[in-house]
Chains A and B, each alone.
Chain A
Amino acid sequence: MNNQVLRRWRWWHKWSSIVCTLFLLMLCVTGLPLIFSDEISNFFDPPASDAGAKLFGATALDAAVSGAHSAYPKESVRLVYLDHDKQRILLRLSPGPDDTFDHTHQMTFSAESGVLLHDGDPPGDSVMDFILRLHAEMLAGLPGELFLGLMGVAFAVAIVSGVVLYAPFSRRMGFGEIRRKRSSRLRWLDMHNLIGLTSGCWAMIVGLTGVMNSLATPLFGLWEMRDVAPILGPYIHDPALAPHAPVSVAIRAAEAALPGMATTFVTYPTHISGSPDHYVVWTQGQSKLRSRMLTPVLVDSRTGTVAFVAAMPWYLRMLEICRPLHFGDYGGLTLKWLWALLDVVTIAVLGSGVYLLFGGGRKSRVVAGDATAGEAALAEELLLVEGRT
């Protein structure tokens, strides 16, 4: 690798790192509590312990919906979520069937009896929701999501360019060697290289799957526009119906149409990401991987019969497979702790990178020559490399 190519890679590594570091630090810090979001949720709102009982039966489901209607007769049920982990039925209601999801509130019912357990959002939910929104969209909606996706691309460029620079910048060294007797900047550079290389694969996986997640809204929009809108065309001008068929009938019909799939949630007739005439029953597979893959079934809300099974396109399947690889929530608590440790390790890589770029001093200016003051260690290494080429 000649000097010009080396300088070009160094430029890419420097500027891609500068662009994304601050945002990556925010993502790493907000990502830490999100890794343990299930445990935090269980701490504030412990799950029920009625294992063995018949759960999510027709009686319980329909009792929950009628209980919600009795409590809020002027409101519309928008979503029924079957929380298998906590053995609860969660309902979200809003004043009108076409209100945005921000205007909904939650009611929690027993999955065994359909009895009301809690009216209102569970404690701690708003804090975790805030952290999630900060992590996913910087509280800025779709523009925030896309911006963070761009930062993910810059992070991937920083990782690739960092790996490329590893070879010339540690030419005479063995793997993992840290030069304790040289300047503190070289020691930091060696630690930056070591930690970056060992955690690079994980960071790349989490970064790229994060980029994929940032595209979720446009990808779902594309699917709705290309595949769903033509099917819902005849119904689009209908007012959102108050269903005649009970939600339990819709669930039974959807699960009969897709053997081996279980319902995870149901959206009621609406014009907002749904159909004004249909329940949309979202089903998932039973295995660890297939449970991440959702298949929506449209069920006529008047008759309770299946109208359409919407096959998900390849790009949404890709997104669904990418999600667990970003969240780290598929291998038990051990995987979560290791995920959190690697998150901290990534913070160390980012911190050491900031030190190497901006932690310059008098000596660095002398050594670096034409380089900027803060690039002392890199410049020192570069001079060593150039001296040999």
Chain B
Amino acid sequence: MLLLRSKWWPPIWISVVTFVGLVGALVVEGPVGDIAGAVGLGAPLLVTVWFLRRA
């Protein structure tokens, strides 16, 4: 029930993107891996900045 509340979805998605990005950057060779890492860490930063600016 708790997880069905809409405000849980953004942090869950951010966590999944971060985890997959960081592990992807470690496992995948070349620029694709580097991009995965950048997306994985860029997502939480962008979301943070977006909400802070909105406030």
Taking a contact as CB atoms under 8 Å apart, the answer to whether B45 and A342 are in contact is: yes
On chain A, the residues within 8 Å of B6 by CB distance are 174-175
On chain B, the residues within 8 Å of A321 by CB distance are 26
Taking a contact as CB atoms under 8 Å apart, the answer to whether B33 and A345 are in contact is: no
Instruction: A178-B55, A194-B51, A341-B45 given; name 18 further pairs at CB < 8 Å.
Output: A167-B5, A170-B7, A175-B10, A176-B47, A176-B51, A180-B55, A190-B55, A197-B11, A198-B44, A200-B11, A201-B15, A330-B25, A331-B33, A332-B37, A338-B37, A338-B38, A341-B41, A342-B44
**CB of A287 closer than 8 Å to a CB of B:** yes
Query: Residues on A close to B: CB < 8 A?
Result: 163, 166-167, 170, 173-176, 178, 180, 190-191, 194-195, 197-202, 205, 287-289, 321, 324-325, 330-332, 334-335, 338-339, 341-342, 345
Q: A201-B18, A205-B19 are in contact. Are A334 and B34 (CB under 8 A)?
A: yes
Taking a contact as CB atoms under 8 Å apart, the answer to whether A202 and B22 are in contact is: yes
Task: Give Cα distance in the complex from A176 to B6, angstroms.
Answer: 12
Q: Which of A178, A200, A202, A324 has the most CB of B within 10 A?
A: A202
Lowest 10 A-B CB distances belong to which pairs? A331-B37, A176-B51, A178-B55, A338-B41, A201-B15, A175-B7, A331-B25, A198-B44, A201-B18, A335-B37
Q: Which of A200, A201, A288, A324 has the most CB of B within 10 A?
A: A201
* Prevailing SS type, chain A contact patch: helix
Q: A178-B55, A191-B52, A201-B15 are in contact. Are A334 and B45 (CB under 8 A)?
A: no
The one of B11, B27, B33, B45 in contact with A338, judged by C-beta atoms closer than 8 angstroms, is B45
Q: Which of B2, B27, B51 has the most CB of A within 10 A?
A: B51
B19 to chain A, nearest CB (A): 6
Taking a contact as CB atoms under 8 Å apart, the answer to whether A202 and B34 are in contact is: no
On chain A, the residues within 8 Å of B28 by CB distance are 288
Task: Give Cα distance in the complex from A331 to B23, angstroms.
Answer: 11
Taking a contact as CB atoms under 8 Å apart, the answer to whether B41 and A198 are in contact is: no
Task: Give Cα distance in the complex from A321 to B27, angstroms.
Answer: 10
The one of A173, A195, A335, A345 in contact with B7, judged by C-beta atoms closer than 8 angstroms, is A173
Taking a contact as CB atoms under 8 Å apart, the answer to whether B47 and A198 are in contact is: yes
* Prevailing SS type, chain B contact patch: helix
Taking a contact as CB atoms under 8 Å apart, the answer to whether A178 and B25 are in contact is: no
On chain A, the residues within 8 Å of B52 by CB distance are 178, 191, 194
On chain A, the residues within 8 Å of B5 by CB distance are 167
Q: A198-B44, A199-B48, A201-B44 are in contact. Are A335 and B34 (CB under 8 A)?
A: yes
Write 22 A-B pairs (CB below 8 A) sorted by A numbering.
Answer: A167-B5, A167-B8, A175-B8, A175-B11, A176-B50, A197-B14, A198-B11, A198-B47, A201-B44, A288-B28, A289-B26, A289-B27, A325-B22, A330-B37, A331-B25, A331-B36, A334-B34, A334-B37, A338-B41, A338-B45, A342-B45, A345-B45
